Structure 1
Amino acid sequence: MSLPTSQKQWLVQGTGEGFSTLVYQDGPIPEVGADDVLVQMQGASLNFRDLIIPQGKYFFPLDLPIIAGSDGAGTIHSVGSNVTEWKAGDRVLPLFNQGHQKGAIDTAATRTGLGGCVDGTLRRFAAFHRTGVVRMPANLDFVEAATLGCAALTAWNALFGLRRLKKGETLVVQGTGGVGLFGLQFAKAVGATVIATTSSAAKGEVLKKLGADHVLNYRENPNWGDEARKLTPNGEGVDHIIEIGGEGTMTQSLRAIRMEGIISVIGLLSGSPPKENIIETLSRLCTVRGVYVGSKELLEEMVETIEKHDIHPVLDKKTFTLDTAKEAYEYMWAQKHFGKIGIKIE
């Protein structure tokens, strides 16, 4: 396929109120260096970070203006002269932090995030370094695969990046966002018990259908941490917690966690945790760990598990297109979604 002379793309021009700085414009097709691959993007999805970047609320490095989008998937259109591991036609998804290849992340790698410091996925064609993509799971379509780069990899890192969640252990996942739902699916794939928290009975029924062993309604029971502990063998507490809420949930997570358990902090949706929680980590003898997505090594491992267990992401009932991506931002900001929001790029 011959390349067009320009393409449509979403650009974050700066920061401002709402999504006023998110602009749909014509842009160039990126040049492909000797070590690059040119990917025809065919799917994308939104993450909470995508929503707060144009609002100036993101706390990791930014280099604006920047092409928006953290997640995507597509087909390689062409490769640079030094590229031997990829060929035209390969189905791939980009690594979120392009510089995080394996092991622990370092400061330099935090400055290689798509849609923040490196041009992102909300465009028809994108160039990546040959080490900055991995193969798509064969069992997923492009929109499904486009949900994996941030939310799924964050959940995978939380459960398997520091100390691996094992069969028979217990995980608490909070809410019905992308990270929590992927965490639930990955935990069930390895034979763990999952306690899910939610705010409504209807969402609770969906969580049960996805495999949650127990569902706790945190509106009906704000002290759900004590209840979660009671659901574990001998009441000793849960092994892993994917912590999303911050101020509104950390106290309960600390009540639920067992000695030497791990609380993976993914977000602070309800504000920063109270300072007394820091002292309580000592009395609970647990590890509280911040997680910033994950490495290429972990992403490749996750792709294999998704294929092996035929795991499919939970997608919202509404799918958007590239030209309506701003509507997707507004839809997600209004919290009208359940699961991941997909964007089809044609």
Structure 2
Amino acid sequence: MKAMILKKPGGLDNLQLVDLPDPGQPGAGEIRVKIHATSLNFHDLLVANGTMPTDDGCIMMADGAGVVEEVGAGVTEFKAGDHVVSCFFPQWQDGLPDAPVSDFTRTPGDGAHGFAAEVVVRPAQHFTLAPRGWRHAEAATITTSGLTAWRALVGDAHLKAGDTLVTLGTGGVSITALQIAKALGARVIVTSSSDEKLARAQALGADDGINYRAVPAWGAAVQQLTNGRGADLVVELGGPGTLAESIAAVRTGGHIALIGVLTGTEGVVPTSLLMAKQARIQGLIVGHRRQQQDFVRALEQTGIRPVIGDSYGALADLPAAFSHQQSGSHFGKITVEW
């Protein structure tokens, strides 16, 4: 079978399409899945460019969607022909995170082989059913960015109708957060450095857009847009370079979902303002399998479909897809199908 691996020390030039042995038949508790699509996330890019080191020859990609070809003994949840999508933390089935589930040692495409392959054989609990009627490329957006948005809004912040969400940027997490929030009846404010992307976000339902290059103090702008109340939830994807503005934007007693590190991993936190706001900062990394199953049911009920800005048509196109992601010019998700 064909697979896209990463050779040490990393870097897009060290992504290689290779022939590997077919994984064979599934054992007890396993399923064999023919993979047809993946989607790109910032985490995958950090692995690909060597920022997050992995084993030499690791098969890339955390997200994978495809069709069950065969099930092993004892598997009752899936059958041949089912469309499935992978789980980011296959070891985290439910409940609160603990040390074994909060690292990447078993995350596909990082500490374990991923889904940039034609066929995989994995334990059945490493997958959930995909939404009915979805293309594989659409389903592949669920694993990482989709579930992150769902957990941030529904699992942790309990966003509800009438609340105000601020989400940073127009990548996969932010656009999915926009869609979920509107389905819940919330108001959405989007930030971006591109007026064109802001217009596209508003066409998808965003109520307001703030160009953070034109308005560097966008936290104050959020306060103005909400008549001084602030946002109930800020989906914080920038990290240290944007956290101060997120704290300025959030309401007293509000919630900041700390998801991204686009501006770095360490920085100064305005602790006095955070204390005065009595706001919560919740760090999170994706979510567990049961949350993914809940998310799939919600997607089927609401009719939300992912926004795919760019799609590539072959596994060999993965390096080109990463280059496009690295440019920052994409809107929504980037997918690769084969």
Structure 2 match to 1:218:
212
The CA deviation at 1:22 is: 1.7
> Could you tell me which amino acid in structure 2 is paired with residue 89 of structure 1?
G
> 1:203-258 CA deviation, whole Å, 9 max, x = no partner?
111001111011111111111101112222x5221111110112321111010111
Structure 2 match to 1:341:
334
Structure 2 match to 1:90:
82
Q: Does 1:65 align with 2:54?
A: no
1:168 to 136, 140, 162: 162
Structure 2 match to 1:23:
16
Runs (4+) of structure 1 moved beyond 3 Å? 61-65
> Could you tell me which amino acid in structure 2 is paired with residue 297 of structure 1?
R
CA–CA distance in structure 1, aligned partners of residues 111 and 270 of structure 2: 33
TM-score w.r.t. structure 2 length? 0.95
Structure 1 match to 2:113:
119
> Could you tell me which amino acid in structure 1 is paired with residue 137 of structure 2?
V
CA distance change for structure 1 residues 249 and 273 in 2, over 3 Å: closer, same or farther?
A: farther
Q: Does 1:282 align with 2:271?
A: no
> Does the Cα contact within 8 Å between 1:10 and 1:23 map onto a contact in 2?
yes
Q: Does 1:37 align with 2:47?
A: no
The CA deviation at 1:201 is: 1.5
Q: Does 1:292 align with 2:292?
A: no
CA–CA distance in structure 2, aligned partners of residues 163 and 197 of structure 1: 20
TM-score w.r.t. structure 1 length? 0.93
> Does the Cα contact within 8 Å between 2:83 and 2:130 map onto a contact in 1?
yes
Structure 2 match to 1:151:
145
The CA deviation at 1:9 is: 0.2
CA distance change for structure 1 residues 306 and 100 in 2, over 3 Å: closer, same or farther?
A: same
> Could you tell me which amino acid in structure 2 is paired with residue 338 of structure 1?
F
Instruction: State percent identity of aligned pairs.
Output: 36
CA distance change for structure 1 residues 34 and 72 in 2, over 3 Å: closer, same or farther?
A: same
The CA deviation at 1:119 is: 1.2
1:321 to 314, 320, 326: 314
> Does the Cα contact within 8 Å between 1:322 and 1:343 map onto a contact in 2?
yes
Structure 1 match to 2:198:
204
CA distance change for structure 1 residues 118 and 274 in 2, over 3 Å: closer, same or farther?
A: closer
Structure 2 match to 1:271:
264
CA distance change for structure 1 residues 336 and 197 in 2, over 3 Å: closer, same or farther?
A: closer
Aligned residues: 335
> Does the Cα contact within 8 Å between 1:320 and 1:328 map onto a contact in 2?
no
1:104 to 92, 96, 121: 96
The CA deviation at 1:65 is: 3.5
Q: Does 1:252 align with 2:257?
A: no
The CA deviation at 1:280 is: 3.2
The CA deviation at 1:56 is: 2.7
> Does the Cα contact within 8 Å between 1:64 and 1:116 map onto a contact in 2?
no
Instruction: Give RMSD over aligned pairs.
Output: 1.6
2:40 to 43, 46, 64: 46
> Does the Cα contact within 8 Å between 1:139 and 1:310 map onto a contact in 2?
no
> Does the Cα contact within 8 Å between 2:167 and 2:191 map onto a contact in 1?
yes
CA–CA distance in structure 1, aligned partners of residues 332 and 79 of structure 2: 33
> Could you tell me which amino acid in structure 1 is paired with residue 100 of structure 2?
A
> Does the Cα contact within 8 Å between 2:8 and 2:56 map onto a contact in 1?
yes
Structure 1 match to 2:301:
308
The CA deviation at 1:281 is: 2.0
> Could you tell me which amino acid in structure 2 is paired with residue 81 of structure 1?
A
CA distance change for structure 1 residues 148 and 216 in 2, over 3 Å: closer, same or farther?
A: same
The CA deviation at 1:75 is: 0.4
Structure 2 match to 1:4:
none
The CA deviation at 1:269 is: 0.8
The CA deviation at 1:276 is: 3.5
